[in-house]
Chain A
Amino acid sequence: MTSVAQSQSPVRRRSWGETAGRWAKIASRELSTVAITIFGLLLITFFIARVIPIDPVLAVVGDNARPETYEAARIELGLDKPLWQQFAVYVGKVFTGDLGRSVLTSNTVVDDIKRVFPATLELATLGTLIGCVLGIPLGVLAAVYQGRWPDQVARVIGLFGYSIPVFWLGLMGLLLFYAKLGWVGGPGRAGVAFQDLITPITGILVIDAAIEGDWEAFRDAWSHLILPSAVLGILSVAYISRMTRSFMITELQQQYVIAARVKGLSEFRVVWRHAMHNAFVPLVTVIAVSYMHLLEGSVLTETIFAWPGLGRYLTHSLLNADMNAVLGGTLVIGAVFIAVNLLSDILGRLVDPRTR
């Protein structure tokens, strides 16, 4: 009997110090990855600015400037310096929050982005929330009843979400819920009566209205927000539910699920506590990808709903060769991607003990 106890293999101890140490190691690794990615992002935006066939000097001095003026402007802009110096100046400017001035709006690009990004952020966040709240249960249901009618219903909803064009859905939504039923607000972020009434704190109208305690404005902002979010949400529901289904089917076939049933657990507990917890590990990445996709700014949705978001701002700037705005916006989107990736990495580690 003693031989049994003695031959047990050693187990890793996990003191608090060690746990903290391991997290510190993970954090330093993540941070160095982020630093490298940001450097790469800056490099790319910088070179895009050099490569595009738009002369930044001409944009300042105009087409009919004399050669002396042109040359003076070129030196003024620092374009006579070697590339690496120009890059250093550019990086310095980005980190001090100077992305130049938009030709189109004549505001600084930073100010423009402060205005348009929250609009996209609230749309994308609510859209992703809708996607999770509806998509995950739908996918789980489809997996549990694989091949039976709930699965077929989920399949049709997924197909619908994937294949119906967003502009059609948006227009039909406006026609039905705004024009006919009057349940929601029309295009734009707020009704005429509330335009620019709320002082931007976070820039997200519903939150700012709630902070100010202006519930009438809150209701108005909410009624404008819900329909475009729902349109984006349907896309997200389709994606998330399909992925949830496939992850859950894999998990439900695992041995630990049988073991959970042998213990006498209810099917609800088996599915949601045991299988779902495991399916959630890859699902974190899927949700992050879906969120990032919406954060780029959905040009079509923003156009239909006259939503002053990032997607519309970027498209507009691009079509008007407003390069500072385009590059600034690209930089912001890149930074958002990096941030969401980092977040999903951290969340993934929290969910899966094998990665920490």
Chain B
Amino acid sequence: MSVIEQPLLELDNLHVDFHTPTGIVQAVRGLSFTLGRERLGIVGESGSGKSMTGRAILDLIPHPGEVRADAMRYRGQDLLTMDKRARRKLRGRHISMVMQDPKFSLNPVRTVGDQIAEAYRVHHKASAREAKQRSLAMLEQVQIREPARVYELYPHEVSGGMGQRVMIAMMLIAEPDILIADEPTSALDVTVQLQILKILDDLVTQRGMGLIFISHDLHLVQSFCDRVIVMYGGKAMETLPAAELADESARARRHPYTLGLLGCLPDLDHPRETLATLNRDPAWLA
């Protein structure tokens, strides 16, 4: 059967436009990629359209925004012709997203357990009891000790690292196929970052999910992902195997923007007087 071959997600010529009073702002302009059961990194500067790509896949582009594409398919299902309700049913259950800062992305007035159980109950007919059991098991999977106690806590009572575990538990409890991780560790301490990435990596591998890892951290993407899309101005500059980011011998094949980004990275072992600045060519966006 071709089911195994079928990609999880296909995007062809994705555009995200915002119609503002001062004109059209193009956040994403013609992005195409397919996602299998792999870890795909999307890197780029602020405003390069990487977050909007994730939002477009989830049908969560805010009000004046408009999504256009030649094709947008989840496991062969056409997302473009699907109605709002069906798109909503996909969210959480099939495509989910871990957001940047648990301080803001968890509802401050409800217990974390309540929020995790809720994510399960939207998609599964389950009693409150069963949802709680599931949530406790999920908390254990993100390596929280004493899940029963953490379940009753409010978001302001947990640390950033624990908050992000809760976030991962909440977004994975309905067992989606695709997880979009939008800067999932940017708000965390460096020591905690690695723990969270490890948890994320284990779960994604165990469940054979497709991961879209959005980041501006080249080192992180290079070590964490299989494949990387480098975005600039809403366009993909190039797509390359993550390992090649560090491969000096592959430099000749690299896009100048990718080289520019790499050149901006400070190196502790070889400190430079002045750090390179990015050289952006308007022709890239033509």
CB of B105 within 8 A of CB of A255, answer yes
CA distance A255 to B102 in the complex (A): 9
A1, A8, A14, A256: the one contacting B107 at CB < 8 Å is A256
CA distance A259 to B111 in the complex (A): 15
Check if A351 is an interface residue, CB within 8 A of chain B: yes
CB of A266 within 8 A of CB of B88, answer yes
CB of A8 within 8 A of CB of B174, answer no
CB of B96 within 8 A of CB of A9, answer no
Scan residues 13-58 of chain B and give those whose CB is less than 8 A from a CB of chain A: 58
Check if A7 is an interface residue, CB within 8 A of chain B: yes
CA distance A13 to B152 in the complex (A): 10
A 225-263 binary contact with B (CB < 8 Å = 1; else 0)? 000000000000000000000000000001110111111
Question: In the complex, which residue of chain A has the Cβ closest to the Cβ of B196?
Answer: A4
CB of B154 within 8 A of CB of A354, answer yes
In this complex, the interface size class of chain A, counting residues with CB under 8 Å from chain B, is 20 to 34
Check if B145 is an interface residue, CB within 8 A of chain A: yes
Check if A88 is an interface residue, CB within 8 A of chain B: no
CB of B101 within 8 A of CB of A255, answer yes
CB of B108 within 8 A of CB of A256, answer yes
Check if A12 is an interface residue, CB within 8 A of chain B: yes
Q: Which residues of A contact B111 (CB under 8 A)?
A: 353
Q: Which residues of A contact B170 (CB under 8 A)?
A: 259, 263
Stretch at the interface among A126-134, A273-281, A304-312, A317-325: A273-281
Q: Which residues of B contact A14 (CB under 8 A)?
A: 152-153
CA distance A5 to B142 in the complex (A): 10
A218 to chain B, nearest CB (A): 39
Q: Which residues of B contact A351 (CB under 8 A)?
A: 109
Check if B156 is an interface residue, CB within 8 A of chain A: yes
Scan residues 88-116 of chain B and give those whose CB is less than 8 A from a CB of chain A: 88-93, 96-97, 99-101, 104-111
CA distance A317 to B152 in the complex (A): 56
CB of B161 within 8 A of CB of A259, answer no
Check if B122 is an interface residue, CB within 8 A of chain A: yes
Q: Which residues of A contact B88 (CB under 8 A)?
A: 264, 266
CB of A262 within 8 A of CB of B149, answer no
Check if B144 is an interface residue, CB within 8 A of chain A: yes
B148 to chain A, nearest CB (A): 12
A9, A13, A281, A354: the one contacting B162 at CB < 8 Å is A9
Q: Which residues of A contact B104 (CB under 8 A)?
A: 254-256
Question: In the complex, which residue of chain A has the Cβ closest to the Cβ of B173?
Answer: A263
CB of A261 within 8 A of CB of B60, answer yes
Check if B199 is an interface residue, CB within 8 A of chain A: yes
CB of A256 within 8 A of CB of B156, answer no
Q: Which residues of B contact A266 (CB under 8 A)?
A: 88, 122
CB of A8 within 8 A of CB of B191, answer no
Check if A212 is an interface residue, CB within 8 A of chain B: no
Check if A192 is an interface residue, CB within 8 A of chain B: no
Check if B123 is an interface residue, CB within 8 A of chain A: yes
Scan residues 1-54 of chain A and give those whose CB is less than 8 A from a CB of chain B: 1, 4-5, 7-9, 11-14
CB of A8 within 8 A of CB of B144, answer yes
CB of B110 within 8 A of CB of A264, answer no
A255, A263, A281, A354: the one contacting B91 at CB < 8 Å is A263
CB of A9 within 8 A of CB of B109, answer no
CA distance A214 to B195 in the complex (A): 70
CB of A11 within 8 A of CB of B91, answer no
Scan residues 250-304 of chain A and give those whose CB is less than 8 A from a CB of chain B: 254-256, 258-266, 274, 277-278, 281
Given the contacts A263-B119, A263-B171, A4 and B93 also touching, CB distance less than 8 Å: no
CB of A278 within 8 A of CB of B108, answer yes
CB of B143 within 8 A of CB of A263, answer no
Check if A216 is an interface residue, CB within 8 A of chain B: no
Question: In the complex, which residue of chain A has the Cβ closest to the Cβ of B123?
Answer: A264
Check if A80 is an interface residue, CB within 8 A of chain B: no
Q: Which residues of B contact A256 (CB under 8 A)?
A: 104-108
Check if A352 is an interface residue, CB within 8 A of chain B: yes
CA distance A278 to B107 in the complex (A): 8
Check if B158 is an interface residue, CB within 8 A of chain A: yes
Scan residues 323-340 of chain A and give those whose CB is less than 8 A from a CB of chain B: none
B 99-141 binary contact with A (CB < 8 Å = 1; else 0)? 1110011111111000000110011000000000000000000
Question: In the complex, which residue of chain A has the Cβ closest to the Cβ of B88?
Answer: A264
Check if B70 is an interface residue, CB within 8 A of chain A: no
CB of A263 within 8 A of CB of B92, answer yes
CA distance A255 to B186 in the complex (A): 15
Q: Which residues of B contact A354 (CB under 8 A)?
A: 108-109, 154, 156
Beyond A255-B104, A258-B60, A263-B118, 6 extra complex contacts between A and B, CB < 8 Å:
A4-B195, A262-B58, A263-B92, A264-B88, A266-B122, A354-B154
Residue pairs across A and B with Cβ atoms less than 8 A apart, 8 shown, are A11-B149, A11-B159, A256-B104, A256-B107, A258-B60, A259-B106, A263-B118, A274-B107
> Which residue numbers of A lie inside 8 Å of B, CB to CB?
1, 4-5, 7-9, 11-14, 254-256, 258-266, 274, 277-278, 281, 351-354
Which 9 A/B pairs are nearest by Cβ-Cβ distance? A264-B92, A255-B104, A264-B91, A9-B159, A263-B92, A255-B105, A263-B119, A256-B107, A353-B154
